[in-house]
Structure 1
């Protein structure tokens, strides 16, 4: 009887062990399948997230490119508009540029006024002609003889054609006096300065007509 019971227990134990092994194997298989499914779902979620991120970055780059294009077009249009405005209405001189130009002209006028006056036939003293013919027909070869000739002759020498020297004398007067008038009147126009110049010339001693009338 004991041997028989021992044999039955051995078979039952083996059967239980096989059953337990099968249950354990099934359990492990289910857990592994569940774990694989979990990671598979997680990979899909990550892929979706990555895809959405890439789409967002693509849209952002496209938006930046469009904005840059709009800005460039706007800048080009503004440049063309300003160019047209400049052609129709030239830019006026600013107050700073006007002051700078005025100062530059004043400095140039001062430099011109400090230059020594050019010696001309109008500023030179009249020289005695030592070869002047005496009243008796002989030539005056010395200064004493020339003085005697001048003292004998009571009739003054008259410039019969002063207008021939007028243009050269006026140009010389203008070159000297005009820079001085510019320096004295920096806010006046050139036409006004020349009008003042002509008025002064009418009474100036270097005017051949004045000298002719005085003689």
Structure 2
């Protein structure tokens, strides 16, 4: 049993960490540690530089961005000139003639609505008329949006 105890003690002593303080670290040791870290970084950088084009991530091609809202794509000179020029049919401020256009639309459409809906009151007919006006191609605001959409 004594022999087994000595064997076990010897195994434990071999595994025990070093006893005692290593003492102060000298400036030379610090510089050596810094030099080793720099070499490791350089080796890592060299390994990164050696990567092939297949291992590197793809970068975004800034020349092929998706068309943003309001952007016009022109693939030829004629398309670019057409996109930049303002046609005379397209007005910049259709709101200015909105009231007159609605009055003309009402004059034409109100008799038809009265004929189709004889039991409705005038206020109800005007509500229907207003809904039709919002979708009508006679509405100057819709004309502006249609002109905008046809150039896309």
TM-score by length of 2: 0.40
Structure scoring higher RCO (CA < 8 A, sep ≥ 6) equals 2
